[in-house]
Amino acid sequence: MKVAVFASGTGTNAEALIKAAKTGELGGEVALVVSDKQHAPVLEKARNLGVKAEHLSPQSFSDKAAYEQAILTLLTKEGIDFIVLAGYMRLIGPTLLEAYEGKMINIHPSLLPAFPGLDAIGQALEAKADTTGVTIHYVDAGMDTGPVIAQQQVAIAKGETRETLTAKIQAVEHTLYPAVVKQVLNEHVEGEQQ
């Protein structure tokens, strides 16, 4: 199975996924990284690990459908079977949703449906929650709304700061995401064989 990772930022999850693929722990290959941000550090990280990384700017296209059609053309050219969103800061539109129905997942740093959208970690701190976590879910047209595949709790300690909580959540993400991608890819391979 060939996987494309979509990311807009730092790319620590993309890096964890690429490294897991290289050691055979992903059950698939990360063949492509796509970013909507020209200077996203994820592009450099991926290239340094030998993975093709492409920037496509939404501003260069007339609308979202045209932008996603260009991404779709690239995915088709690269033979991509599955899309993994890892800090991709755009809602996915009908063009990609229809082409990759049931073959696109996302990771979010909260226990959804709690704290969807931007700055989930800040939202959890602001709410003085004592627990937050990580959710991996299938992607639908909403913001962080698709069917949940896996969740893991992270305790918020007394005196927790944004930095310490982010580090705890990232540590969970970097283990959980490769494991769940492996599980989901396996299910797809088995589904295709039936």
Q: Where is the binding site for (6R)-10-formyltetrahydrofolate, in residues? A: 64, 89-92, 106
Q: Residues within the annotated binding site?
A: 11-13, 64, 89-92, 106
Name every residue whose Cβ is closer than 8 Å to that of residue 60 and which is 6 or more positions away in sequence: 67
Which chain residues interact with ligand GRF by CB under 6 A?
7, 9-14, 86-87, 107-109, 173
Which residue has its beta carbon closest to ligand GRF?
Answer: 87
Select 38 or 76, whichever has its Cβ closest to ligand GRF. Answer: 38
CB of 108 to ligand GRF, least distance (A): 5
Active-site annotation holds for 55: no
The nearest distance, CB 9 to ligand GRF, in angstroms, is 4
44 touches 62 (CB < 8 A): no
Q: In the complex, what is the shortest distance from the CB of residue 15 to ligand GRF, in angstroms, rounded to a whole number?
A: 8
Q: Identify the residue whose tokens are 């055979």.
A: 24
Which position has the token pair 């450099």? 44
Q: Which is nearer to ligand GRF, 79 or 117 (CB)?
A: 117
If the CB atoms of residues 27 and 109 are measured against ligand GRF, the closer one turns out to be 109
Q: Give start and end residues of each alpha helix (H) in the chain.
A: 12-22, 41-48, 64-77, 94-99, 120-126, 162-193
Instruction: Copy the structure tokens of residue 111.
Output: 């226990």
Closest to ligand GRF by CB, 82 or 177: 177
DSSP H/E element including 79: none
Nearest of 136, 107, 115, 124 to residue 162 by alpha carbon: 124
The CA dihedral of 104, 79, 65, 57, to the nearest 10 degrees, is 100
CB of 88 to ligand GRF, least distance (A): 7
Of these residues, 108, 137, 174, 188, which one is catalytic?
108
Which residues are marked as active site? 108
